[in-house]
Copies of this chain bind each other. A is one copy, B any other.
Amino acid sequence: MSLIIQKYGGSSVASTDHIRRVAMKVASTKIRGNKIAVVVSAMGGQTDQLLALAAEITNNPPGREQDALVATGEQVCAALMAITLESLGHKAKSLLGLQLPLITDDVHTRARITEMQTGKIAQILDEDIIPVVAGFQGITADGSITTLGRGGSDTTAVALAASLKADCCEIYTDVEGVYTADPNICPKSRHIKKISYQEMLELAGLGANVLHSRAVELAQKYQVPLVVKSSFGGEKETWIVNEEEVMENSIIKGVTLEKNVSKISLIRVPDRPGIAHRILSPLAEAAINVDMIIQNASIDGYTDFTFTIPTTDLSKAKELISEVAREIDAEKMLAANNIVKVSAVGIGIKTNPGVASRMFHSLSAENINIEMISTSEYRISCVIEEKYGELAVRAVHKAFDLDNVKEETEI
């Protein structure tokens, strides 16, 4: 008897009709002789509606209360899913993050799991009841509700699979797994059958909205077999596995476009040792992830300092950095959110010299100016003007021979 964790995203549970369809899929998995636990996101659009309510009041709701607010979305969905499973004749129980409990740190709105207790859910599984876990949410050691950040339900599912030593963690979403590029942007993109954890991690971190980065990280760490499928019944799926299990290794596995990017520049900063730390530590304290950083060569003891952050953190970051700017006597602060990040991801990058220059060339051939560059073993990223984003993805996709020339090929 296998133990399977199935996670259903917001678009898969967007209405009670959707929930009924998902419940029948869950039931059929159980009837085939498996043990099953379900993890659900909020019904599609629900989280945004809740955030919109808070936004009617203030732009800066306290994290603790924002988490208590949005966690209701998954709670509603878990209860409705349990009700539906019961109406189909299967015993089911909803479980909130705080009922598991899934313990997290106290960084509200983007908490990290510190402990997943499984006694309660294991008991429910033993009683042949289907546990329906509200994803995305946890509880601090002192009892405040937390959330794991956008896409956090994936992380809940993988953490459960790891803790329960499940045979497989299935992530159901509104697409048939992972593509070489977003098909909406790049019609010639191809479906990927197998991808390494490391590549998937890069893709997830770069705005490919198929899987949450931390979920992939956890899956790799605990070697959880992970598969992404369509909840709408498509045949295709993408397995996320160890590097050595991926047979066909093209140099580049995928091209991504990340839109949630803003940059802040501090102009004419007195160039003293420790200045970067001085500028960036308030952001670290506020748990704002700084992505790329550029510090110009120092001229006359002054330098310019530019970094990128998620646009969702821009207003908070501007507030913090404008204070720093006064304290360190920077001439001025500039901020912009009309930029995007285009990235090429693949295991082949570390072993194939010339990949970066091939990417830069494909952009310049389209007259696209590169504002910032960063690279890693598995990734090359370029920040460019927002309006060129889609064009850049198609150009890079073509440059690395990823374009689908026949009907429906996969890699």
Residues of B within 8 A of A16 (CB): 53, 56-57
Report if A227 contacts B (CB, 8 A). no
Residues of B within 8 A of A87 (CB): 57-58, 60-61
Residues of B within 8 A of A54 (CB): 79-80, 83
Interface residues of A in 63-103 (CB under 8 A from B): 64-66, 68-69, 71-72, 75-76, 78-80, 82-84, 86-87, 92-94, 96, 98-99
Q: Give the dominant DSSP class at A's interface.
A: helix
Interface residues on chain A, size class: 35 or more
- Cβ of B65 and Cβ of A86 under 8 Å apart? yes
Looking at A50, A75, A83, the one whose CB has the most chain B CB atoms below 10 A away is A83
Report if A35 contacts B (CB, 8 A). no
Residues of B within 8 A of A80 (CB): 53-54, 57, 65, 69
Cα A60 to Cα B144 in complex, Å, equals 32
Q: Give A363 Cβ to nearest chain B Cβ, in Å.
A: 44
- Cβ of B65 and Cβ of A72 under 8 Å apart? no
Residues of B within 8 A of A71 (CB): 75
Given A53-B76, A72-B75: A82 and B65 interface contact (C-beta under 8 Å): yes
Q: Give A340 Cβ to nearest chain B Cβ, in Å.
A: 32
- Give 10 closest A-B pairs by Cβ, nearest first: A69-B79, A72-B72, A58-B87, A16-B56, A68-B79, A61-B83, A65-B82, A65-B79, A65-B83, A68-B94
